[in-house]
Amino acid sequence: MWSDTPFGWHSLLSVALNLHLLDPREVIAGAETAYHTGAAPLAAVEGFVRQVLGWREFIRGVYFLEMPGLTEANHFGHQRPLPRWYWTGNTNMACLADAIDQTMKLGYAHHIQRLMVTGLFSLLAGLDPKQVAAWYLAVYVDAVEWAELPNVAGMALYADGGRFTSKPYIASGAYIHRMSNYCTGCRYAPDRASAAKTLRPLCPFTVLYWAFLDRHETALAANPRTGLMAKSVARLAPEAREKIRADADELLSRIESL
Ligand SMILES: Cc1cc2nc3c(=O)[nH]c(=O)nc-3n(C[C@H](O)[C@H](O)[C@H](O)COP(=O)(O)OP(=O)(O)OC[C@H]3O[C@@H](n4cnc5c(N)ncnc54)[C@H](O)[C@@H]3O)c2cc1C
Ligand code: SF4
C-alpha cells in the first residue's frame, strides 16, 4: 500500500467481470496467452488466475452455501455503529484517511486496503457487521452482494465464526507499517517504541489489537494458527492487561475524533 497509488498493480477488472461485460474464461485465457508469448512471468500469471478462478468462484460458492444466514452473522456480537468518518475519510489515521478518501473519489480500493485497513479497523473496533457490510455495498463500484458479503462478513470480520477462514485476520499497526508508507505521515505511531521516540500517540490499531487478544485469548489459544498471539497476551501481568482494556475503552469512547 502506498499513498497516491490507488490502483497499484491491480487489474481493475472486477467491475467488468461482475457486470458480465467480461467472461472470467476470457480473462484467464488472456493471462495464459501472455504467459505463453513471454509477455508475463509464470508467478504473475499463476497469482492472477488464482484470484479469478480460485477466489472469485470460491466466494460465489460460499455465498450460495451460506445465504441467507450470512446477512445476520455476528459471531462476536459486535454492535458499535459505523463512525461518521467512514463516509468522508476525515480521520487522523493516515491509512484509513487514504483508503477511504480514494474510495469516495474513485469507488475503488484494492484488496489489502479493503481487508487490512477498513476491514481490520471494523473488526478490532467491534463495528456492527450489518452496518459495515452496507458500507462496502454502497461505496465500491464492483460491489454486488454475492462478491461483497462473503468477503466482508467472512473474511474481514470473521462474523461467520470461520466457516471458510481458519482464523480472524487481525494485526496491529506494525503490520500496516511494514506493508505501506502510511505510518510515516500519520499523527499516530505504529508501535510503542516509535511512540516513545517520536512522542506521538500509540496507533489505535495497535491499542485495539491488544484489547482483541485480551478479550479472545481462550479462543485464540485453541487455534494452532493464533496460538502464538494468545501466548503474547498471556505473558502479560494482570495490571498490564487492565491497562490494555482501559486504553481501548478510552479510545473507543472518542472514536468519532480519532
Ligand atoms: C472486505 C472486502 C470486500 C470486497 N468486496 C468486493 C466486492 O464487492 N466485489 C468484488 O468483486 N470483490 C470484492 N472484494 C474482493 C477484491 O478486493 C476485489 O475483487 C478487488 O479488489 C477488485 O480489484 P481488481 O479488479 O483490481 O482486482 P485484482 O487484485 O487485480 O484481482 C483480479 C480479480 O480477481 C478477483 N478476486 C480477487 N480476490 C477476490 C475475492 N476475495 N473475492 C472475489 N473476487 C476476487 C476479482 O474479480 C478481481 O478483479 C472484496 C474484498 C474484501 C476484503
Ligand atoms: S500509525 Fe496506525 S493509524 Fe497511523 S497510518 Fe500507521 S497503522 Fe494507520
Across 169-186, average pLDDT = 95
Residue nearest atom 17 in ligand 1 by C-alpha distance: 111
pLDDT for position 185: 87
Q: Is the pLDDT of residue 218 over 90?
A: yes
Distance of CA 16 to the CA centre of its chain: 23
Residue nearest atom 38 in ligand 1 by C-alpha distance: 51
pLDDT digits (tens, 9 = 90+) for 98-145: 999 999 999 999 999 999 999 999 999 999 999 999 999 999 999 999
- Concatenate the DSSP letters of all residues of 67-114 into one string: TTGGGG--TT---BPPPGGGGT--SS-HHHHHHHHHHHHHS---HHHI
* Inter-CA distances, 233 with 14, 31, 217, Å: 39, 45, 7
pLDDT tier, 209 (very low <50, low <70, confident <90, very high otherwise): very high
pLDDT digits (tens, 9 = 90+) for 36-61: 999 999 999 999 999 999 999 999 99
Ligand 2 centre to CA of 22 (Å) is 37
C-alpha–C-alpha distance, residues 251 and 214, integer Å: 16
pLDDT tier, 15 (very low <50, low <70, confident <90, very high otherwise): very high
With a pLDDT cut of 70, the percent of the chain lying above it is 100
Cut 0.75: pTM above it: yes
- The β-bridge partners of 80 are 127
Answer whether 114 contacts ligand 1 (Cβ < 6 A).
Answer: yes
Q: Is the pLDDT of residue 167 over 90?
A: yes
Residue nearest atom 8 in ligand 2 by C-alpha distance: 95
* Inter-CA distances, 254 with 93, 192, 226, 247, Å: 13, 21, 29, 11
